Amino acid sequence: MEKKKPIKAAAKQSDSREDRLKAALKANMARRKAQMRARSEDKADPGRDKE
């Protein structure tokens, strides 16, 4: 007979996956916010010299 994985182990794996996804989403949102800030600064002051 095959041994089945306990339900707790499967739940732990899904929790770690959720944690990884949550961290990735948070990093992605931070990156997008930074991009939006940079773009809004460029639009707000178009007369400034870009070097």
Q: What is the pTM (predicted TM-score) of this model?
A: 0.55
DSSP output for 1-51 = -PPPPPHHHHHHHHHHHHHHHHHHHHHHHHHHHHHHHHHHHHHH-TTSPP-
* pLDDT at residue number 2: 67
Q: How many residues does the chain have?
A: 51
**What's the rounded Cα separation, in Å, for the pair 23 and 33?**
15
Amino acid residing at 33:
K
**Residue 5 has what pLDDT?**
63
Residue-level pLDDT, tens digit, the chain, 51 residues: 566 666 666 677 788 999 999 999 999 999 999 999 999 988 876 666 555
